[in-house]
A and B are shown apart, each in its own frame.
Chain A
Amino acid sequence: MSFIQYLVSGLSLGAIYALIALGYTMVYGIAKMLNFAHGDIIMVGGFTAFTAISSAWCPVWLSVIISIVVCTVLGVVIEKIAYKPLRNAPPLAVLITAIGVSYFLQNAALLIFGSDSKNFPSVVKNAPPFMLVYENSGVKFFTSPVDTADKLLLTISMETFVSIVVSLVIMAALTFFINKTKAGKAMLAVSEDKGAAQLMGINVNATISLTFAIGSSLAAVAGVLMCSSYPLLNPYTGSMPGIKAFVAAVFGGIGSIPGAMIGGILLGVIEQISKAYISSQLSDAIVFMVLIIVLIFKPTGILGKKINEKV
């Protein structure tokens, strides 16, 4: 039963990595840039929701919406101010700018909120756990744990359940959006060939802005879910999960949406299982070793497209 518990915690962590990785992968696929500020947009999303929830008048659902709106606007503004002028610059310049934006966001948050960690109130606070498994009385859904001699074998918290369900729903919606809508198809076209797409009458700038808007709104959702599951919020909250999610995106094949999802979930599960069965000290080393091995045999990631190098 412990194994299932570890698996569940891996899925929960992985679902959050996956949500963040979706943002990385979309921006990379369409704008061909690594948006290293993505992790910090998660942090901004967390702080926005935290500020909103802390004010007495704001219900939880509204604060999540406010957080999504703020992050979407922020993502588009960052793209317009920092990345658009560099559209034709070498990739290295854009990469450095992204790192600069990341530091800017962190330090702005330090200035506004201070360096001490905030205790984030879960968005499903006071909700009973999704599922409990007891040794004798079996499986219970949506009930609070009770103090009995009956041994608790497995717990799936509401946060875990919500994180996994939301990630799956978002991925399905995103796949539908990209393949079935006009704007989505425009994104695909821009990702294939920017110049040709422009000649076909696609507004490339608007498409890239839309990508940033979607990526950043996903970051807000990821921020709220992450802070609900792991309620510690400070200006550096987003940076390490951001990097892990970037790894997940590469793992799954950067530019591929199902790839980001698979990469994220695998990363979370491998991390937790290696913590449980090999060593809690070595878990990061193991995760990155798996990444290296995958990239040796499949340099474009699990679902990455094969690139034919022109000589």
Chain B
Amino acid sequence: MKFSKKILALGLAACMTVPFITGCGNKNTDSDTIVIGGIGPITGGAAVYGIAVKNGAQLAVNEINEAGGVNGIKLVLDFQDDEHDAEKAVNAYNTLKDKNMKALVGTVTSAPCIAVGAETAKDNIFQITPSGSAIDCVTSGDNAFRVCFTDPGQGVTAADFIADKKLAKKVGVIYDSSDVYSSGILEGFVAEAKAKGIEIVATEAFTADSKTDFSVQIQKVIDSGAELLFLPIYYQEAALILQQGKSLGLNMPVFGGDGLDGLIEQLGTDVAIADGVMVMTPFAASNPEEKSAKFTAAYKELTGGETPNQFAADAYDAVYAIKAAMEKAGVTDANISASDLCDKLKVAMTEITLDGVTGSTTWTADGEPTKAPKVMKIVVNGNEGTYAAL
């Protein structure tokens, strides 16, 4: 046992030295390119998000380079895997630093993002997370920004939208109390709904351990006299709720957050029951708007036919935000140090307006995006579901 521990320690020590050795060899001395780092899970359970971010960012980098770069500077994307693990994310960050990274697109998931955020704040390296939605992802320094809404922020915009469009006065909610995403949205929603005079007449929960039968929760929402059902959850459970709701006679409008993107594909031939469901998502691949359609086509070409999700769109916008900020700050020297670049970018970020695929966005000095929520309605025609702007 002791022997194997020694070997393990030796092996780990060897692993730690490897990045330094390769790091020295890889130092980028090319004078007209800048390395943009990327960190996210491209293996493991959350891989679907990381791969989407990687592809979305790569697509933006390719487009920018083809159009002549940023003020003549070409971008290189170096994407590292963190397997949705905070420790591995910090290791990946150190690897990227050794590879002379000048700005970071990442990380993709919240917990690693918080860990890496502490490091980038210390090193003063510019960081923009496409999809880290926990509050603390951008609080460790003024160098960190994000493209997506925070979870509570999404709840607030949902309540505002429902109030502004006068969709309902009484709302029923079914949420996943074991999931931070779901309970985060609910928290923001409850606070804002109160301020806007929306009454929440039923708040029903489920957990990761009991998410097959929703008939009781649905029945309670129906009995509560709610005029609208708010579902701050993911599309798999939403599909079950709609299916069970249909047989229980649930016939109120349904409103959900970006987690519902994917509902049409999930329901397949049963899509008719999702007719009229409102989804608040910054991006949907089937959105007919020109910008989304162009991005979707280019993404499909890059990946060999995959449909982009919201994460890909967020990453695409993150890279374009860096480009816009670099142009605003007038960065023309590719040999600028990462810290100097960060000082310029964090000022420029608050001055730009990015007309991206996830909407027209400006940023506050806190790193939070300001953009109008896009709410789309699922329209079913025969057995085909599509999104229509609302």
Contacts and interface: CB of A to CB of B under 8 A. Distances in A.
B207 interface: yes
A231 B205 CA distance: 20
Contacts of B223: 2
Contacts of A271: 210
Interface string B192-211: 00000000000011110110
B201 to A, nearest CB: 14
B217 A275 contact: yes
A5 B248 CA distance: 9
Interface in A123-164: 129, 145, 152, 155, 157
Interface in B251-301: 266-270
Contacts of A121: 269
A230 B247 contact: no
A13 B45 CA distance: 29
Interface stretch (B235-243, B356-364, B377-385): B235-243
B249 interface: yes
Interface string B204-241: 11110110110111011001000000000000110110
Contacts of B213: 9, 12-13, 229-230, 272
A9 B215 contact: yes
Contacts of B33: none
Interface in B313-350: none
Given A119-B270, A145-B249, A241 B236 contact: no
Contacts of B216: 6, 9, 272, 275-276, 280
A143 B88 CA distance: 58
B177 interface: yes
Interface string A1-28: 0100110010011000000000000000
A232 B212 contact: yes
Contacts of B210: 240, 271, 283-284
Interface in A81-95: none
A290 B240 CA distance: 28
B236 A232 contact: yes
B209 A119 contact: no
A83 to B, nearest CB: 27
Contacts of A115: 45, 48
Interface string B302-322: 000000000000000000000
Interface residues of B, number: 31
A175 interface: no
B212 A117 contact: no
A280 B237 CA distance: 15
A199 to B, nearest CB: 45
Nearest to B223: A2
B248 A155 contact: yes
A231 B243 contact: yes
A281 B249 contact: no
Contacts of A2: 219, 223
Contacts of B48: 115
A6 B219 contact: yes
Q: Which of B177, B216, B243, B269 has the most CB of A within 10 A?
A: B216
B16 to A, nearest CB: 31
Given A230-B212, A240-B210, A119 B249 contact: no
Interface in A261-288: 271-272, 275-276, 279-281, 283-284
B207 to A, nearest CB: 6
A280 B248 contact: no
A276 B220 contact: yes
A277 to B, nearest CB: 9
Interface of B: 45, 48, 177, 204-207, 209-210, 212-213, 215-217, 219-220, 223, 236-237, 239-240, 243-244, 247-249, 266-270
20 contacts: A2-B223, A6-B216, A9-B215, A9-B216, A117-B239, A119-B266, A157-B247, A226-B212, A230-B213, A232-B239, A240-B209, A272-B215, A275-B216, A276-B219, A276-B220, A280-B204, A280-B220, A281-B207, A283-B210, A284-B210
Interface of A: 2, 5-6, 9, 12-13, 115, 117, 119, 121, 129, 145, 152, 155, 157, 226, 229-232, 234, 240-241, 271-272, 275-276, 279-281, 283-284
Q: Nearest 6 A-B pairs (CB), nearest first? A: A9-B215, A230-B212, A281-B205, A152-B249, A275-B216, A280-B204
